[in-house]
Amino acid sequence: MTIPRFGSRAQSAAVAVLLMLFPFPAAAGGSGPEVVLDEIFGQVEATCGGEAQGPPYDIYAIAETYFTPTLAQAFTAAMESGDLGFDILVDGQDCEIRDVELTVLDRDAGTATGRAIFKNMGESRIIDLKMTKTGDRWAVSDVIYQHRPFVLSDEL
């Protein structure tokens, strides 16, 4: 299923600003894999879309809000130590994304895969967010690239 986009970049930027101001789970979503995927990449697109001049997104806030607690903690430690020297959501240090397509694949009662397909700096990216459901909340449990070998949990 392809997820409908926010529409204009202005709407995406407005949503990203609101999510940065109020990044607690009740406001940030997590109610479904489509919501998690769209909210994460909505923030990325607001920063990196167009001329890549949007307000910077907070990768740490995204991890805390949308990742499982275990993944968020390990990811934050790896970023702070310098073990991960790039943005895992765009697979690069710089970003200018185009042609974003978001799809939820193989969803069942407790797991789902959200796929983001786009070009960053002209290079194709396919990034899967593996998600698990705990209670009523969906969270990212791993990040796996399809365009090159990379599994976040293996790097932590």
In CATH, what number is assigned to the domain containing residue 150?
3.10.450.50
pTM: 0.81
Looking at the domain assignment, is residue 2 inside a domain?
Answer: no
How far is residue 8 from each of residues 12, 67, 107, 142, measured CA to CA in Å? Answer: 7, 27, 28, 29
Residue 81 has pLDDT above 60, yes or no: yes
Structure tokens at 89: 């959501």
From CA 50, how far away is CA 37, in angstroms rounded?
Answer: 20
What pLDDT, on the 0 to 100 scale, is given for residue 4?
Answer: 47
pLDDT (0 to 100) of residue 31 = 87
The domain tally of the chain equals 1
Q: How many CB atoms lie within 10 A of CB 93?
A: 9
For residue 130, the enclosing domain spans 9-155
Residue 61 domain-assigned?
yes
pLDDT at residue 29 in the model = 46
- The residue with tokens 């789970």 is 25
Q: Tell me if 1 is assigned to some domain.
A: no
In a domain, 149, yes or no: yes
Q: Band the pLDDT of 22: cuts 50, 70, 90.
A: very low
Q: What is the mean pLDDT of the chain?
A: 85
145 vs 153: CA distance, rounded Å: 12
Q: pLDDT digits over 125-134, tens only?
A: 999 999 999 8
